[in-house]
Amino acid sequence: MGSIVVQKYGGSSVATAEHIKAVAQRVKKSRESGLDLAVVVSAMGNTTDRLLALAREVSLAPSPREIDQLLSTGERQSVALLAMALHDRGVAATSLSGPQAGMKIEGRHGSGVISEIQPGRLRSLLAEGQVVIVAGFQGENASGDVTTLGRGGSDTTAVALAQALGADACELYTDVSGVFTADPRLVASARRIPHISFDEMLEMCATGCPKPAMRSVEFARTHGVRLHVRSAFTWEPGTWITEEDPMEQAIISGVVDDDSEAKVTVNGVPDRPGIAAHLFRTLADADINVDMIVQNVSAAGVTDISFTLPREDLAPGTQITSSIAEEIGATGVTTDERIARVSLIGAGMKSNPGVAATMFEVLAGQGVNIEMISTSAIRISCVIPEDDLEKAVNALHDAFELAAT
């Protein structure tokens, strides 16, 4: 066998029959270049949303097992259609559902975890010279029930398959042509990053960059799978995500913006051990995904705790927080929906202590008020007023010279 490559095409790349034919053409070219190919495909366009709407029509609270049984048909359809389109182009190909491809899944329906891949059938098909098309997002649990990995699960399927097959690379095709130094819709001079480390990519995922799915990057880092994020609509190279390469390490790789969160502040919290634990445990139990948390040192025995959470969780999150605030004797709860987060990501930050100071100076120079700050070894995030987001991202992109090649 030659080099094995896993390719993954998302739902927007296979949204229509025409799109599927274009993907088939691309797979054919890749195959003709001598690669052995396993191709992971998502459900066509809005199929998953359409099926979910149907489920809600017949049931107020559809069972997760049956939702998985229902949703998994979307990927089964797209793999069969892609195999047909390849046959039409003279390419030997076989489609496999998740269970047929040996994807074993454990954990809850709708958010399963790959426990094992038994790639026997897949390997023999590759050995026969077949392109193998695998349904993403799905597998089978120990009871033989179809179980899905949750949204973004096709990326994880692809990366896990690349690991199981010892593939040279896992190519994630999307509707953007890679990972950028900033969101091109906000920053005209944003530039595609040719190469980024797993750690930097994870920080980008965590701070709002939507693709690829964070879990798949974590999996790739753990197992050393080389990722290549690229566009399904062009042949230009995209962004490679691999182990860090110190030789070409930039101080800052990119600026990431996120305007999907809201902020909650509890004022006048008595400074006793266990209070923060109580609050965030209660929020976690209600499935509210708290992101940044900032607590200042206390003055006069009381402190303020601020945190961010997805805007759609603001109403239940505020309710829970208010009831706990009363219980612990805090003075009040305030919320703000009109915030945004701007983050600098860069592995080079570790050895460049002035980055944070520069960031704050740049924002101050633009008259942007910083409401919260949080940092990691390779990331600095500031919460700012939502209306200042575009100005802030552009100023930081310029200040750190990210447009330069």
Residues within the interface to a copy of itself (CB under 8 A): 17, 20-21, 24, 51, 54-55, 57-63, 65-67, 69-70, 72-74, 76-77, 79-85, 87-88, 94-95, 97, 100, 121, 144-146
Pick from 353, 106, 394: which is nearest to 255 by CA?
Answer: 394
Q: Which is nearer to a copy of itself, 87 or 185 (CB)?
A: 87
Give whichever of 150 and 268 is closer to a copy of itself, judged by the CB atom.
Answer: 150
DSSP symbol at 386 = G
Rg of the chain taking only CA atoms, in angstroms: 23
In the complex with a copy of itself, the residue whose CB is nearer, 65 or 195, is: 65
Shortest CB 331 distance to a copy of itself, Å: 45
Least separation in angstroms between residue 77's CB and a copy of itself is: 5
* Tokens (6 digits) for 290: 């708290």
Nearest to 150 by CA among 199, 109, 104: 109
Tokens of 30: 């890749």
The amino acid sitting at 189 is S
- For helices 64-88 and 17-32, the axis angle rounded to 10 degrees is 60
The amino acid that residue 399 corresponds to is A
| Closest separation in Å from C-beta 84 to a copy of itself | 4
CB nearer to a copy of itself: give 97 or 177: 97
CA distance 380 to 255: 10
200 closest CA partner among 275, 163, 250: 250
**Which residue lies nearer to a copy of itself by CB, 81 or 288?**
81
Smallest distance from a copy of itself to CB 122, Å: 12
CB of 65 to a copy of itself, least distance (A): 8
What sections of 230-313 are H helices per DSSP?
275-285
Beta carbon of residue 273, minimum distance to a copy of itself (angstroms, whole number): 45
Whose Cβ is closer to a copy of itself: residue 80's or residue 290's? 80
* Rounded Cα gap, residues 370 and 384, in angstroms: 5
